[in-house]
Amino acid sequence: MSLLKIYNTLAREKQPFTPIEPGKVRMYVCGMTVYDYCHIGHARVMVVFDLVQRWLRASGYDVTYVRNITDIDDKIIKRAAENGESISQLTQRFIDAMDEDATALGVQKPDQEPRATAYVPQMLGLIEALERNGLAYRSDDGDVNFAVRHFAGYGKLSGKSLDDLRAGERVDVNAGKHDPLDFVLWKASKATEPDEVKWQSKWGSGRPGWHIECSAMSCELLGEHFDIHGGGADLQFPHHENEIAQSEGATGKTFVNYWMHNGFVRVDNEKMSKSLGNFFTIREVLAKFDAEVVRFFILRAHYRSQLNYSDAHLDDARNALTRMYTALKDVTPDGLPLDMAEAHAVRFAEAMNDDFNTPLAVAVLFELTNEVNKTKSPVLARQLAGLAGIVGLLQRTPQQFLHAGLADDGDLETFVLEQIAARADAKKARNFAEADRIRAVLLEKGIVLEDKPGGLTEWRKA
């Protein structure tokens, strides 16, 4: 099998993957801030790094995968106040919703899913270490800030120099800071904030800044130096840049070896935003499309590319996935283990080892689909189902997929079966116009009929 290469944002090139500890991988991914329902951009992060951890495990690595939950944040405090509910009530409600969305999309649970509020002591420890190292100071307003210009390596992930960074763009402007580029590590409490977001520290009552949360959780659960850190491209600067500065400034060690960032999601070739009215939650998308179709839509694009969301692209993904399931409908896999030495599997592995090149891997799945259709080979059906299973696809029976969303509707299923029987009677009576009319009526309802040898008729969603 070819060796895994990963595009390392820090190095700006693909690099052979060599774990710190042979055979083991420690990976951290920035998770969701839980004050609202997850959107399609969050879906991409969850599915992409689910894919990464699945392939690492399939490649024989012992993986520890950590994806955090940010359950304390300005937006969370504001939303809870607007709703008249506690912080914990708000965050638990949206954590539950996030878990439901992730499960629907076939996203496996991370090994650890730390909540920021449970790691405040570790955050305080890091801030104290930064203060000792001359990288943190308390400002007149009571906040504790990171002194960016005192950390020599700042900008190495984003490629931004300090002179190029302008205050007011993507950094806070605060009169209490020594430099407008400095960022907050510890926020002094405000009298208007609820008690549940106030922790005691040597600097008085307060709460952590966003950036220090991920440094503390990752270092506590994976060690001060670990293999892979991932997240969306929007986090590269300033969040991940600040994580590096904090972590390396506190420990004096290299923080992470490989940085991975998935591309943005666009909607009909425009940036997704609430102001443009093209903002979709996962729940809204799943109300229109099967969850596996959404997962397949995300996976068939390379994780570093921009992903253009549209109903037309989801329809195309549904048709493509339907072709794969249809190929398996009449051919039962032989039940033997997946053969990774088989030619299609070798090409699939080569694609996945080339920086998780899912477009090429999916192309191999379609080659297998065509071969299964032609040969009806149980061996190739096994390879198709097995390789797709590695990336979380084709894990239902063909009937479960092809009838998804319809089979649970007893009235509709009964209607379909009655119409199929009426069509069979019409064909026996050589009333082909009536048979065609019935087919057309069902097609209008999203039902496709497929006539099989021996007079059998099967149906599926269009």
10 Å Cβ neighbour count for 140? 8
CA-to-CA dists, residue 100 to 25, 49, 105, 282, 406, angstroms = 27, 17, 9, 10, 21
Largest CA distance in the chain: 91
- Cα–Cα distance, 290 to 314 (Å, whole number): 10
What does the DSSP 8-state code read for residue 229?
E
3-class DSSP assignment, residue 211 = helix
* Count helices and strands in the chain by DSSP H and E runs: 15, 15
10 Å Cβ neighbour count for 142? 16
Please check whether residue 192 is in contact with residue 223, taking contact to mean a CB–CB distance below 8 angstroms. no
Inter-helix orientation angle 358-375/378-390, to 10°: 160
To the question of whether residue 30 is assigned a binding role by annotation, the answer is yes
10 Å Cβ neighbour count for 367? 16
To the question of whether residue 219 is assigned a binding role by annotation, the answer is no
To the question of whether residue 261 is assigned a binding role by annotation, the answer is no
Residues present in the chain in total: 462
- Cα–Cα distance, 109 to 345 (Å, whole number): 26
- Cα–Cα distance, 231 to 223 (Å, whole number): 19
How is residue 320 written in tokens? 């493509």
To the question of whether residue 214 is assigned a binding role by annotation, the answer is yes
3-class DSSP assignment, residue 74 = helix
To the question of whether residue 38 is assigned a binding role by annotation, the answer is no
Please check whether residue 284 is in contact with residue 42, taking contact to mean a CB–CB distance below 8 angstroms. no
Binding residues, by number, are 30, 214, 239, 243, 274
Binding residues for ATP, by number, are 274
Binding residues for Zn(2+), by number, are 30, 214, 239, 243
